[in-house]
Chains A and B, each alone.
Chain A
Amino acid sequence: MTRNGKQNIGQMVLTLIMIAAALIMIIPLVWMISTSFKTQPEVFAYPVKWLPERPTWEAHRKVWLGALNFVKYYRNSLKIAVLGTVGAITFGSMAAYGFARVQFRGRNLLFGLYLLLMMVPPQILFVPKFIMFDWAGIYNTHWALFLPTMFTIIGVFYMRQHFLTLPKELTEAAIIDGAGHFTMFRKIFLPLAKPTIVTFAILDFTWAWNNYEDALVFLIDEDLYTVPLGLNNFLLEYSIDYPGMMAAATASIIPIVLVFLFGQRYIIEGLVSSSVKG
């Protein structure tokens, strides 16, 4: 057999192995969506019916139009995630620029503090934040969720890494021209750093959308619930309604899957360029 033929066979075998592995990765998602279109008795039929015999929208109808309506949870989550992301990107990119590109006294000390705070487990902040939010009158409001989201430490860290990789001459030339840092940030850096910023907008949005623990701790009223809390609530109310549970789970991942499909290239390249290089 020719060398080329051998190579092709190797490539086929490897592709098959990788496809098998990739199937394991997406089976829980496929299972989720497929179950959401089943009737209760069909859920655990064996061998598994990946395509339900008589697909039904019943479970989805229950999720979207039932007593626990997901439209409300969606609105709440969307509001928190959008406000939080806009803040995180604005304040985060400014701080990242300051730490990466401006010389000022105490810079390394302050940035060291950020690195230290990255180690802090969020659970250590539960009780003190609970007390502080209670004092400030924002406990059991959406403010308790989106305000902290607006200040991302990890985002500052990654965006700074990226700003460091942009050529130094860029800043120097513009400074000599007399452009202030604010002009430079707006006119030169933001356009250049657009891919990174889009990446972090997507990631921040994803994290805020999936944030379950803060919602669990800081929200009481069912009217204020976000999607992950609503999902949990669904389980408490209808514990063995498996198609319903999976329809609720499917509803909760739709925006993330959409964002991923459209922003895949950004997410992957952005993550790589800010953690590997620089």
Chain B
Amino acid sequence: MNIVVCVKHVPDAQSERTFNDSDNTTDREGVDGLLSELDEYAVEEALKLVEASEGEVTVLTVGPAGAADALKKALQMGAHKAVHVTDDAIHGSDAPATSLLLAKAIEKIGTPDVVITGMASTDGTMGVVPAMLAERLNLPMVTYASQLTIDGSAVTARRDGDTASETIEATLPALVSVTDQINEPRYPSFKGIMAAKKKPVETWGLGDLGVDAGQVGLGAAWTKVDSFAKRPPREKGEIVTDEGDGGTKLAEFLASRKFI
């Protein structure tokens, strides 16, 4: 079984994330980046599936030079090879353009049995690239899997929705997005870190994918950020220490704000 896992290199949520003043895009240089935490679950699930049978896990990313770090982490976890789609013209691409690049790269890799993604990136948090990718690859899709089994020609997943817990089946090849409930991602071992250095990483530009520069990047984006503003910090509120009357004071505050 061959699996492609799509991953994203994102600005660290623990640091001060911001935008570029010049073009309103996400600042990916002034802030430390890392493999999106939610993508670690996708990598882990792919590794488990391959370890239980056979095959290879290819990790794929679209992003600037620094995005190679995300691939490196996935290779250290145990992925077999990596593909990095990068090109100056890609800067500012929106979700549809990103999904186009991912789709073209997956076609070039050779459509696998399963494409696995995280549920969303931790920076843009749109959570729509998996659906766009399924649409472009014309694959059935199972979203938000919290449990996954693959048996011959079908994928079965459990999805814990708001009103029901569902079992979903799709024929292979398929695209699956997984939640952070599905597994506990492994930490790279020392052996894994050493082995990753020898694993193949291919770097592809737009020309390798047959994509025209006019189809991607900020200029081709179907949406644009008109303006951004830092939310003013919340005014520090009243903090009391419970001396046996904390609950009463809490109720008084609620009454003063007309909540009761």
> Do A and B actually bind?
no
B interface list, Cβ under 8 A from A: none
Residues of A within 8 A of B (CB): none
